Amino acid sequence: MEVSKNPITLEEHNIPSELDNSNEIIEFIRQNKGKKTVVVQGLGFVGAVMALVCANALTEEYAVIGVDLPSEKTFWKIKSINNGIFPLTADDPKIAEFFESAKEKRNLFATYDPIAYKYADVIIVDINLDVQKEFDEKKFLKSFDVNLDGFKAAIETIGRHCREDVLILVETTVPPGTCEQVVRPIIEKELTRRGLTLKKFRLGHSYERVMPGPQYIDSIREFPRVYAGVDKCSSDAVESFLKTIIDISKCALTRLDHTNATEIAKVLENSYRALNIAFAVEWSRFAEEAGVDLYAIVNAIRDRPTHANLMYPGIGVGGYCLTKDPLLASWARKYHFGSKSDLAMSINGVSVNDQMPFFAFNRLVEVFGDISEKKVVFLGVSYRGDVGDTRYTPVEPLIELVRKTGASIVLHDPFVSFWEEQNCTIEMNINTIFSYDPDLIVISAGHSMYTKQSTINKLMSLKSSLIYDTVGLFNEEQLTILQTKHKISVLGRGDLI
């Protein structure tokens, strides 16, 4: 999955100075007469695909409007959807299928005009809510903060336009307490200001577990869900809506007592995962020092059902969620629930994970020595195997550290043609990359194409080089073959070098 390389050029953006798209919206509503309207706020990795899922709902025919901001960074997504090009390309064929079907039914429209909220029966909030991190010179997490201003502004926009009987479903990962303490008062204030009743609107929270990748659509539509409302009527309204888009014959809907609980569930889920990864870090160092293979050890332990998700060593944690969710939780504990305590273990987990690329770099230098004169190829820049998401990828700091030594660097990724955060193009053709005649090859993402026999053959046709596998990609047989020609080190394996 990748963000398609902005199919509309900046010059073609033509962001209108007057943010009035109302005629097009009225026409869209007219064309979809008789259908309920779902408005998705935020057309990012979650919202854009959620809009597709709603446009292809299971038991209801919705008119779906996606709303994003009229900024240079995001306006192209709106134009792209309306021009018939979905703004994410994914290795899930259902994405194209669902988009084609929405185009045929003409039930998906995108806009920057908040007037869209006026027509919504249901508004789904899928915008970002970021954590601001500060690091010390050793890259330890020094402090962090959560600024709710952007999120509050988004909810205010909804409140200024929405109907008094709307259902607002927050999917954004929020600091626990946000629906009750932030969203509800804003909506009530705006409805009151417009002289509307407060009795009819419904407000709930149901967090996304979406996994961009080959099961993108199914990870929304066929994946267990947790939900809650701020009161019973809201919980019932959320449940009724979810049942129209989630395939409950394949997955469960779990109702919790209150939005505080679902909000905590989301950040606990991700904190558990982040801590599990952080736990593997010091054991990787121990295994390297002790000259043993931590992968083999973890595999042996994983046979025990209670320990089946013990994590392997790795280059680090990336993506939008695991790098921030434990911090959202800790922030909320203090600022929404008045505790004097942090969630110290969870914060430490994030900090340890943030340092993983630095451990990876130190190990690289420890094993291979001075790399300043080397030509280095990185295989993979995304944060996860077979996915093209580069947000907060741990490969980025590792590349920076290698670059600082003076080494020359070339980057490959089969899923990323353009690295937005680094503003650079990425080579997608592996033959071109290998023709660069590298001295050092860093396996930095677990893309399955790198394990194919054709890639092993290509590696074997190169001159004798150094290979640094930071993700434990190769199996024993492949390692044995590669070792006949190359010098190999695998992060977390002290038995190899």
Ligand X SMILES: NC(=O)c1ccc[n+]([C@@H]2O[C@H](COP(=O)([O-])OP(=O)(O)OC[C@H]3O[C@@H](n4cnc5c(N)ncnc54)[C@H](O)[C@@H]3O)[C@@H](O)[C@H]2O)c1
- HSE of 277 in the Cβ direction (CA atoms, 13 Å)? 24
Contact 391, 5 (CB under 8 A): no
With CB under 6 A as the contact rule, the residue among 2, 113, 190, 208 that binds ligand X is: 208
With CB under 6 A as the contact rule, the residue among 128, 181, 348, 451 that binds ligand X is: 128
With CB under 6 A as the contact rule, the residue among 2, 36, 47, 438 that binds ligand X is: 47
Binding of residue 332 to ligand X (CB under 6 A): no
Which tokens belong to 295? 């992968």
Could you tell me which stretch among 63-71, 292-300, 410-418, 483-491 binds ligand X (CB under 6 A)? 63-71
Contact 92, 216 (CB under 8 A): yes
Which tokens belong to 52? 């597709």
Binding of residue 129 to ligand X (CB under 6 A): yes
Binding of residue 234 to ligand X (CB under 6 A): no
Query: Where is 408: in which H helix or E strand?
Result: strand 408-412
Which tokens belong to 461? 């046709």
Q: Which residues contact 193 (CB under 8 A, 6 or more apart)?
A: none
Site string for ligand X, 131-170 (x = CB under 6 A): -------------------x--xx--x-------------
Could you tell me which stretch among 54-62, 66-74, 355-363, 459-467 binds ligand X (CB under 6 A)? 66-74
Q: By rule CB under 6 A, what count of residues binds ligand X? A: 26
Binding of residue 67 to ligand X (CB under 6 A): yes
d(CA 156, CA 123): 13
Binding of residue 469 to ligand X (CB under 6 A): no
Secondary structure of residue 63 in the 3-state scheme: strand
Please report, to the nearest 10 degrees, the dihedral formed by the alpha carbons of residues 120, 158, 263, 66 taken in order: 50
The amino acid at residue 339 is S
Beta carbon nearer to ligand X, 69 or 226: 69
Secondary structure of residue 487 in the 3-state scheme: strand
Binding of residue 45 to ligand X (CB under 6 A): yes
Binding of residue 321 to ligand X (CB under 6 A): yes
Beta carbon nearer to ligand X, 4 or 41: 41
Binding of residue 172 to ligand X (CB under 6 A): yes
With CB under 6 A as the contact rule, the residue among 42, 357, 394, 438 that binds ligand X is: 42
Binding of residue 173 to ligand X (CB under 6 A): yes
d(CA 62, CA 58): 10
The full DSSP string for 179-245 is IIIIIHHHHHHHHHHTT--SSS-EEEEE------STTTTHHHHTS-EEEEESSHHHHHHHHHHHHHH
Binding of residue 53 to ligand X (CB under 6 A): no
Query: To the nearest whole angstrom, how small is the minimum distance from the Cβ of residue 324 to ligand X?
Result: 7
d(CA 280, CA 311): 6
With CB under 6 A as the contact rule, the residue among 6, 74, 276, 451 that binds ligand X is: 74
Site string for ligand X, 377-396 (x = CB under 6 A): --------------------
With CB under 6 A as the contact rule, the residue among 4, 44, 169, 178 that binds ligand X is: 44
Binding of residue 186 to ligand X (CB under 6 A): no
d(CA 439, CA 441): 7
Interacting residues with ligand X (CB under 6 A): 41-47, 67-69, 74, 126-129, 150, 153-154, 157, 172-173, 208, 210, 212, 320-321
